[in-house]
Chains A and B, each alone.
Chain A
């Protein structure tokens, strides 16, 4: 069953201009998201994941952030061409975003319920009383008793604050939810609860989600498709089965290999050596070349193009282009463990 395409990002490039340098945060990213789909956007800190999300919503920091290329097609319109006024109508209503740190995401001097009500009233011409009722419904939906409407953020725990943030984001029933590492700042036990809540609600409401995370476990349990980001590019993209069963890019493989394995006794963990390239000074060829165990001579010279070995599974890697035809790169023990 093919559902409609909700969001299409085409060859997006974003830069940050500071006093001294230009930071190339996003370098030619393309994504597709269908209705009801949850896409996991995985990568290290600094890979550009947050920048992609903020660009979609149009909240890049001014004056440093600049979109230099690309299109973001949402519901048939290119978001990058819309005026600020039109974007404001979309923010919170059609596209919503939740951020990483729940402790600071809420206005400390405003009542929690009122913050949800504000989101509702911005996009719906209803009375205040009516909006309050809807807010209370949202609170109940995320598992917070509606009597807690008039309380302030400092009276809630971290996990409950994040629930409020989720309630606020979903209050207008957006088509797309951008979740930037929503559980990273929470305790592990609370993480599972909040993720389950998100999964449940977005399924019920039919919301598409771009879930930014660096945790492959979260991806496995929540997402249908995965995009692996590295140095501002999507180096591999596919369904969760593609990525976990048949990771093609050495970086993806490295991510799986670096996961600790409870069943096998090992002396040392296996990190990926080296560091991400300096975004103010990106290398000419493949961005992963320096850290790659399988680097070839062509990798340093040319940038690999997007290659589609199986339907719906794309990768940017010269090795993958060669290897898949050889068939010698399938799966790894770690990725099977996660599923």
Chain B
């Protein structure tokens, strides 16, 4: 039907993830290879003898050339097998599956907070340009963007956990434990969204079609919220996507500060202990997740903007829904 081009685009993007997988795994493997620190030695500890270390290296397959290990790993990936942790001896994939939901949850909650605070503030600032409210919000967002979010986290912990005792300072056993990490993570992204929304709104408000809408006699409220805002939000969709990706990275820090058993803290501890398979698996997983999010964002964007939609959804061959719409309109 009319969705052929869209499907082809999606498939092309998904296929594009393959080189990404290849590239990311290779780079990580290469980096791990090039650096000092022997996993076998680390695993066995100070008092291991050279023979024991050598034996462990054989078992872990560390003596084989890089290329062999690389292709072995890729083969495993296609089967869904990401190897076994050097330390816990557990299946990396299983570990990731247990841990990722925590990361996903904290990232989602903070994105939600960022969207619900950032975008309205941006709209408010844009509609009150030239007043102190606009200037105040610009300054406030600059403040928030300039603040390291781990510092903000510590301050929040000091006030709300230590002094007031409303929420725990560590861990997520109860639902209260999720509040501080999400808020801390969201502050920078909320400010970024506010700034971008403001600038996008200001650009739309200047446009001729907004003046045309006013000239038609439309109320200011409808002009701003129905005409300008809808147009302004379209480029914001892309920004939400990249902010989502950035927050995946920020989650690493948040999880470490608040002792959340997510994929981020897992990766960090694996890095320090040179647990190669875990590092490879997590980085790969993050990269794939990020690419998927970007793909979803792009799809939403092309569906929402009719100028782009018409490139993907055929104009000659109309979809069932469009045909129905047309016949309704024309039969009157």
Contacts and interface: CB of A to CB of B under 8 A. Distances in A.
Contact of B217 (A101, A123, A133, A155): A123
Contacts of A152: 306-307, 310
Contacts of A118: 213, 216, 218
B57 interface: no
Nearest to B129: A63
A99 interface: yes
Contacts of A143: none
Given A104-B209, A107-B227, A96 B215 contact: yes
Contacts of B34: none
Contacts of A154: 306-307, 310
A105 interface: yes
A119 B216 contact: yes
Contacts of A88: 217-219
B35 interface: no
A133 B209 CA distance: 23
Interface residues of B, number: 28
Contacts of A107: 209, 212-213, 227, 231
Interface string B233-248: 0100000000000000
Nearest to A120: B216
B210 to A, nearest CB: 8
Contacts of A337: none
A91 B209 contact: no
Given A105-B208, A109-B305, A155-B310, A122 B218 contact: yes
Interface stretch (B1-9, B20-28, B105-113, B324-332): B324-332
Given A150-B326, A152-B307, A152-B310, A122 B208 contact: no
Contact of A59 (B207, B211, B306, B329): B211
Interface string A99-127: 10100111111100100001100110000
A90 B217 contact: yes
Nearest to A91: B217
Of B215, B310, B325, chain A has the most CB atoms within 10 Å of the CB of B215
A59 B223 CA distance: 13
A91 B310 contact: no
Contacts of B317: none
A122 B218 CA distance: 7
A203 interface: no
A110 B227 CA distance: 9
A129 interface: yes
B269 to A, nearest CB: 48
A129 B332 contact: yes
Interface string B196-221: 00000000000111011111111100
Interface residues of A, number: 37
Given A109-B305, A129-B332, A122 B212 contact: no
Of B214, B230, B231, B315, chain A has the most CB atoms within 10 Å of the CB of B214
B130 interface: yes
A109 to B, nearest CB: 6
B325 A150 contact: yes
Given A122-B218, A150-B325, A133 B332 contact: yes
A89 B207 CA distance: 23
Nearest to A87: B217
Contacts of A63: 130
Contacts of B218: 88, 92, 118, 122
Given A129-B332, A150-B325, A154-B307, A105 B217 contact: no
Contact of A92 (B130, B217, B306, B322): B217
Interface in B287-332: 305-307, 310, 315, 322, 325-326, 329-330, 332
B295 to A, nearest CB: 22
Contacts of A129: 332
B330 A147 contact: yes
Nearest to A100: B208
A99 B214 CA distance: 12
A113 B219 CA distance: 20
A57 interface: yes
Contacts of A165: 212
A59 B216 CA distance: 11
A174 to B, nearest CB: 10
Nearest to B210: A107
Contacts of B212: 99, 105-107, 165, 168
Of B212, B218, B315, B332, chain A has the most CB atoms within 10 Å of the CB of B212
A101 B208 contact: yes
Contacts of A99: 208, 211-212, 215
Interface in A128-179: 129, 132-133, 146-147, 149-150, 152, 154-155, 165, 168
Contacts of A89: 217
B230 A97 contact: no
A122 B215 contact: no
A93 interface: yes
A173 to B, nearest CB: 14
Contacts of A96: 215-216
Given A105-B208, A109-B306, 20 more contacts: A88-B217, A92-B216, A96-B215, A99-B208, A99-B211, A99-B212, A108-B209, A108-B306, A109-B230, A109-B231, A109-B234, A109-B305, A110-B227, A118-B218, A119-B217, A146-B330, A147-B330, A149-B329, A150-B322, A150-B325
11 contacts: A63-B130, A90-B217, A91-B216, A106-B209, A107-B231, A108-B307, A109-B305, A109-B306, A150-B325, A152-B306, A152-B307
